[in-house]
């Protein structure tokens, strides 16, 4: 064993001894206290909670971020309670604290785990400076339905991308050591299946077969366990008839049993008591039984545990042993955070909020998150030297709050640099700017400024249209059934288009929107998500060519909402559509009699393909992929094959590209997706440079949960593609040989 492994083991053993010693001295009431997290966001928390803290009835507080107040709460817990157990201080630090990074879906578009890790580190330091020691992120629910408002908080639709970015976020929050300054405990949420809520309605039901749970929804969570995440949160949703908060299969059998997770599980907000609303239990008492016995260690913001656990242990419905296990998990995290030795926060010991380095990470993340969806005849970048004037139009050009996106409890709107402000700074007097907001907000239907916007467009050499969604249109409990541009934005686009000027749409949104109505009405589209504090400078640099777009879609863009769910790793089915076997609604009279002959899986009234595929994103240069090859046509189980490709930057500028590797297992005992992302790499190529990029695939990387519910790798033929999107055309193949 290496020196550091020995050191870690010693530390773990020392913590285990301290946990046990403490547990031995606790009363049952004090133990149950540790299992309660209480909200203390309204009023002076020490007054409200003081007596409960003194009596040892609180394990954690949520939603207090005043460092002096928090120090006082810790002081009461440490000095005035019998056993002096410090508090976990929870807060949703979802994509930044004061400095706001792009929404997680935007961060996913960077395909850059290092940058995502740096962003989480910035957030952790700022949160820790305020006394927070536990955050409820990352959200690693696979999200394949853009109607769901919480897709904004996710890393999108792909198992591998979500797993890699989730793990990176955990590393960023937790650092090398939870006890080091600036580290906070992370929480993998929402376990499990929340992203599959029916029709994207938040909190709705999910029905997910076990093989899909294991091959898709569970995998990012398993990766988070491997990354050392300290805590898990259950989902609000019903999973196959057993709400996640009372689901012992996922919490006990899988998370603890199979994955050996040693941290603790917290419920979602009041989701223990909601078990009775789901219809699983009759009352709070029964809900406490179900949740506790399923493996929920701490109840967030409800009182089913504090009101009922004591009686339940006395009545033998819940064993004291299971209480002991839950409490020791919670105490272990408190010890790992070093809270017993150092419960107080000295904000002066931390760097300033939103310091230069933090803002630079936010700017870099915003820049890399922006996806160039289309760019006809090189309309972008704009050349400041060749343009006399530019019209800047739209409700999101100068909306400092909206660009921050959802879940920004502590985000400082005053720090936001808007695109308008950044463009003004960038072009100075060189280019005349005409700004017309045109719409009060993204949903407006009464728009007296449209004429002024058209006049500004007519008078200018190009138009930058800032469209999309305000932040309130995505996030928790903010799902939409129609995910087109809201309000009269489509009309605005058409009127601006009619001026004949080059039109660049910059879209700020919390989800993939359906853009079919406008895609042909504009020359270029930069999709900027909600880009956070530094969204403005990032967008300005991209628009004027000081930076080159390099973001790639972490989720498929449907043409119309009725295509949902549409995602790249779908199954082939028995009648896959091709461009030769689909029929459009205008042709059905002549072409398609009432028969299934020749028919395939498509909608009559739209294409079978999405508007933009997963992984798509253009650049100001053009990358060519050639000469894909494998190191061996056949490998044995346990071996590795290398897939290589030559990538050439055909343009005159240096730029970054995200190279993507996909595979398909052609024949398996359980049908497999048509493509699965197996690797990706962000590379920078000089103008005209060609480079060979290689990916190694071990046969374990091709494993899946098969018919028998076990992980298997099945011999046979595999296809592999490498390219700049999930539509990659360069394909090769290899075989895994049958064992002798
Ligand atoms: C959300 C969680 C969040 C919690 C605490 C809930 O409504 O579902 O994701 O962490 O509130 O704010």
Expressed in angstroms and rounded, the spacing between residue 468 Cα and the centre of ligand 1 is: 25
Are 409 and 471 members of one domain? yes
Rounded to the nearest angstrom, the distance between the alpha carbon of 233 and the centre of ligand 1 is: 9
Give the tens place of pLDDT for each residue, 613-632: 999 999 999 999 999 999 99
Dihedral sign, CA of 508, 146, 440, 382? positive
Digit-coded pLDDT (tens) for 171-190: 999 999 999 999 999 999 99
| Helix (H/G/I), strand (E/B), else coil: 539 | helix
Closest CA to ligand 1's atom 6: 269
Mean pLDDT of 92-118: 98
For a substitution probing ligand 1, which of 94, 269, 478 has the most ligand atoms within 8 Å of its CB? 269
For residue 111, CA distances in Å to 71, 617, 716 come to 38, 11, 30
pLDDT of residue 677: 98
Residues contacting residue 118 through CB under 8 Å, at least 6 positions apart = 172, 361, 365
Q: What are 193-225's pLDDT values in tens digits?
A: 999 999 999 999 999 999 999 999 999 999 999
For ligand 1, is residue 268 a contact (CB within 6 Å)? yes
Domain check: are 638 and 728 in the same one? Answer: yes
| Alpha carbon nearest to ligand 1 atom 2, residue | 268
- In this prediction, residue 660 has a pLDDT band, given cuts at 50, 70 and 90, of very high
Residue 583 pLDDT? 76
428 occurs within a structural domain: yes
Q: Which three-class secondary structure state does DSSP give residue 159?
A: helix
Residues 583 and 663 placed together within one structural domain of the fold: no
Residue 150 in contact with residue 142, Cβ under 8 Å? Answer: no
Decide if pLDDT at 641 tops 90.
yes
Q: Which helix (H) or strand (E) holds 630?
A: strand 623-630
pLDDT of residue 596: 61
Catalytic residue among 268, 412, 488, 523: 268
- Listed residues 543, 559, 591: the one ending a domain: 543
CATH of the domain at 524: 3.40.50.1700
Domain holding 644: CATH number? 2.60.40.10
* C-beta 92 within 6 A of ligand 1: yes
496 and 458 within one domain: yes
The verdict on residue 359 lying in a domain is: no
Quote the pLDDT of residue 591: 57
- Other CB atoms within 10 A of residue 707 CB: 10
Question: What confidence score (pLDDT) does residue 403 get?
Answer: 98
Look at residue 543 in the predicted model and tell me its pLDDT: 98
Q: Note the pLDDT of residue 578.
A: 87
pLDDT tens digits, 587-611: 766 655 556 656 788 898 999 999 9
Q: Which two tokens stand for residue 534?
A: 């530094």
Which residue has the least CA distance to atom 11 on ligand 1? 269
CA nearest 615: which of 673, 668, 557, 563? 557
Cβ pair 303, 33 in contact under 8 A: no
- pLDDT digit string (tens) for 238-262? 999 999 999 999 999 999 999 999 9
What is the reported pLDDT for 451? Answer: 98
Pocket flag, ligand 1, residue 232 (CB < 6 Å): no
Q: Is residue 254 part of a domain?
A: no
pLDDT tens-digit readout, 119-162: 999 999 999 999 999 999 999 999 999 999 999 999 999 999 99
| Whole-number pLDDT of residue 594 | 59
Helices (H), 498-649: 516-519, 535-543, 588-591
Q: What is the mean pLDDT of the chain?
A: 96
Q: Which of 543, 558, 587 is the last residue of a domain?
A: 543
Give the total number of structural domains in the chain: 3
Largest CA distance in the chain: 84
Q: Are 453 and 126 in contact (CB under 8 A)?
A: no
Question: Looking at the structure, do residues 490 and 373 belong to the same domain, yes or no?
Answer: yes
Same domain? For 588 and 628 the reply is no
Residues 580 and 659 in one domain: no
CA gap 465, 507 in Å, rounded = 8
Decide if 482 is catalytic. no
Specify the ligand 1 atom closest to the Cα of 137: 10
Q: Ligand 1 mean position to 195 CA, how many Å?
A: 14
How far, in Å, CA of 451 to CA of 436, rounded? 10
CA distance 91 to 603: 44
602 CA to centre of ligand 1 in angstroms: 37
Q: Which domain holds residue 463?
A: 364-543
Measured in Å, residue 263 CA sits from the centre of ligand 1 at 19
pTM of the model: 0.98
Q: Based on the fold, state whether residues 457 and 521 are members of the same structural domain.
A: yes
Which letter, b or e, does each residue of 311-323 get, where b requires 16 or more Cβ atoms within 10 Å of its Cβ?
Answer: ebbeeebbeeeeb
The pair of three-digit structure tokens given for residue 166, joined into one six-digit string: 């989730």
Counting from 1 in the atom list of ligand 1, the atom nearest the Cα of 301 is: 5
Taking each helix axis from N to C terminus, what angle separates 320-336 and 284-294, rounded to the nearest 10 degrees?
60
Q: How far apart are CA 642 and CA 693, in angstroms?
A: 10
Residue 315 lies in a domain: no
Residue 678 lies in a domain: yes
Is the Cβ atom of 194 under 6 angstroms away from ligand 1? no
Q: Which of 177, 77, 186, 91 is nearest to 131 (CA)?
A: 91
Question: Percent of the chain, pLDDT > 90?
Answer: 93
Distance from residue 137's CA to the centre of ligand 1 (Å): 10
Residues 6+ apart with CB under 8 A from 520: none
Report the atom number in ligand 1 closest to the C-alpha of 63.
12
Please work out whether the CB of residue 270 comes within 6 Å of at least one atom of ligand 1: no
Q: Please report where in the chains the tokens 């595979």 appear, as a residue.
A: 663
Residue 190 resides in a domain: no
pLDDT at 600: 84
Q: Tens digit of pLDDT for each residue in 281-338?
A: 999 999 999 999 999 999 999 999 999 999 999 999 999 999 999 999 999 999 999 9
In this structure, the answer to whether residues 501 and 435 fall within a common structural domain is: yes
* H-only helix segments in 431-587: 450-459, 489-497, 516-519, 535-543
Asked, for residue 529, whether it belongs to a domain, the answer is yes
**How many C-beta neighbours within 10 Å does residue 397 have?**
25
CA distance 504 to 525: 6
Residues 380 and 478 reside in one and the same domain:
yes
Q: pLDDT at position 378, please?
A: 95
> In percent, how much of the chain has pLDDT > 70?
98
As given in the structure block, the two tokens for residue 511 are 């989800």
- 158/677 Cα distance (integer angstroms): 8
Q: Tell me, what's the pLDDT at 319?
A: 98
Q: Same domain for 671 and 579?
A: no
Q: Per-residue pLDDT tens for 445-495?
A: 989 999 999 999 999 999 999 999 999 999 999 999 999 999 999 999 999
Residues 407 and 509 in one domain: yes
In DSSP notation, 405-454 reads -S--TT--GGG---HHHHHHHHHTTSSEEEEE--SSSTT-S--TTHHHHH
Q: Is 437 in the pocket of ligand 1 (CB under 6 A)?
A: no
pLDDT tens, residue by residue, 688-730 = 999 999 999 999 999 999 998 899 999 999 999 999 999 999 9
In a domain, 420, yes or no: yes
């Amino acid at each position: 064993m290496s020196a550091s492994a020995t050191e870690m083991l010693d530390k773990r053993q020392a913590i285990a001894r301290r946990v046990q010693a403490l547990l031995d001295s606790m009363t049952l009431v004090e133990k149950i206290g540790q299992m309660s997290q209480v909200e203390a966001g309204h009023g002076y928390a020490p007054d409200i909670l003081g007596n409960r803290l003194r009596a040892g009835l609180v394990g954690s507080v949520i939603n207090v971020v005043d460092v002096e107040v928090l120090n006082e709460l810790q002081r009461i817990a440490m000095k005035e309670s019998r056993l002096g157990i410090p508090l976990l201080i929870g807060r949703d630090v979802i994509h930044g604290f004061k400095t706001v990074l792009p929404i997680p879906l935007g961060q996913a578009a960077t395909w850059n785990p290092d940058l995502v890790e740096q962003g989480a580190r910035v957030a952790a330091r700022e949160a820790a400076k305020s006394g927070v020691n536990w955050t409820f992120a990352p959200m690693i629910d696979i999200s394949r339905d853009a109607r769901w408002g919480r897709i904004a908080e996710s890393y999108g639709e792909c198992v591998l991308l979500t797993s890699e970015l989730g793990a990176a976020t955990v590393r960023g929050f937790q650092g090398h050591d939870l006890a080091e300054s600036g580290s906070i405990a992370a929480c993998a949420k929402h376990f499990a299946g929340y992203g599959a809520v029916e029709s994207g309605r938040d909190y709705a039901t999910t029905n997910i077969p076990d093989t899909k749970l294991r091959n898709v929804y569970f995998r990012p969570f398993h990766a988070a366990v491997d990354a050392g995440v300290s805590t898990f949160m259950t989902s609000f949703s019903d999973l196959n008839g057993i709400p996640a908060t009372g689901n012992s299969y996922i919490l006990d059998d899988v998370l603890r049993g199979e994955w050996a997770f040693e941290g603790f599980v917290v419920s979602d907000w009041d989701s223990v008591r909601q078990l009775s609303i789901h219809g699983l239990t009759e009352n709070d008492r029964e809900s406490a039984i179900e949740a506790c016995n399923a493996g929920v260690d701490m109840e967030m913001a409800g009182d089913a545990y504090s009101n009922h656990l004591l009686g339940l242990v006395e009545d033998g419905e819940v064993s004291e042993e299971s209480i002991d296990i839950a409490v020791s998990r919670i105490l272990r995290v408190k010890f790992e955070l070093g809270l017993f030795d150092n419960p107080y926060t000295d904000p002066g010991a931390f760097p300033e909020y939103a310091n230069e380095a933090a803002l630079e990470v936010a700017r870099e993340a915003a820049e890399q998150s922006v996806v160039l969806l289309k760019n006809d005849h090189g309309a972008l970048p704009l050349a400041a030297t060749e343009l006399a004037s530019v019209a800047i139009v739209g409700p999101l050009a100068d909306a400092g709050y909206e660009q921050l996106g959802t879940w920004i409890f502590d985000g400082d709107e005053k720090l936001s640099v808007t695109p308008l402000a950044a463009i003004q700074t960038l072009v100075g007097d060189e280019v005349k700017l005409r700004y017309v907001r045109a719409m009060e907000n993204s949903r407006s239907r009464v728009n007296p400024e449209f004429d002024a916007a058209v006049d500004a467009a007519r008078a200018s050499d190009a138009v930058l249209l800032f469209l999309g969604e305000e932040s309130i249109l995505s996030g928790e409990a903010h799902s939409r059934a129609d995910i087109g541009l809201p309000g009269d934005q489509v009309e605005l686009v058409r009127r601006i288009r009619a001026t004949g000027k080059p039109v660049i749409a910059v879209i700020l949104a919390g989800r993939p929107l359906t853009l079919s109505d406008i895609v042909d009405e504009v020359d270029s589209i930069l999709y900027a998500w909600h880009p956070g504090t530094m969204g403005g400078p990032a967008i300005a640099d991209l628009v004027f060519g000081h930076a080159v777009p390099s973001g790639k879609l972490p989720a498929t863009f449907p043409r119309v909402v009725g295509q949902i769910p549409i995602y790249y790793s779908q199954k082939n089915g028995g009648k896959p559509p091709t461009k030769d076997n689909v029929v459009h609604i205008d042709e059905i009279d002549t072409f398609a009699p009432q028969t299934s002959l020749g028919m395939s899986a498509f909608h009559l009234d739209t294409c079978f393909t999405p508007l933009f595929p997963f992984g798509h994103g253009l650049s100001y240069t053009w990358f060519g992929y050639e000469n894909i090859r494998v190191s061996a046509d056949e490998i044995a189980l346990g071996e590795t094959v290398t897939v290589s490709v030559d990538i050439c930057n055909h343009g005159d500028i240096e730029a970054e590209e995200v190279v993507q590797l996909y595979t398909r297992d052609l024949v398996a005992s359980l049908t497999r997706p048509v493509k699965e992302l197996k690797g990706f790499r962000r590379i920078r190529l000089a103008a005209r440079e060609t480079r060979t990029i290689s990916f190694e695939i071990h046969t374990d990387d091709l494993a899946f949960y098969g018919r028998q519910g076990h992980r298997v790798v099945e011999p046979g033929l595999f296809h592999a593609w490498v390219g700049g999107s999930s539509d990659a055309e360069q394909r090769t193949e290899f075989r895994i040989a049958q064992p002798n």
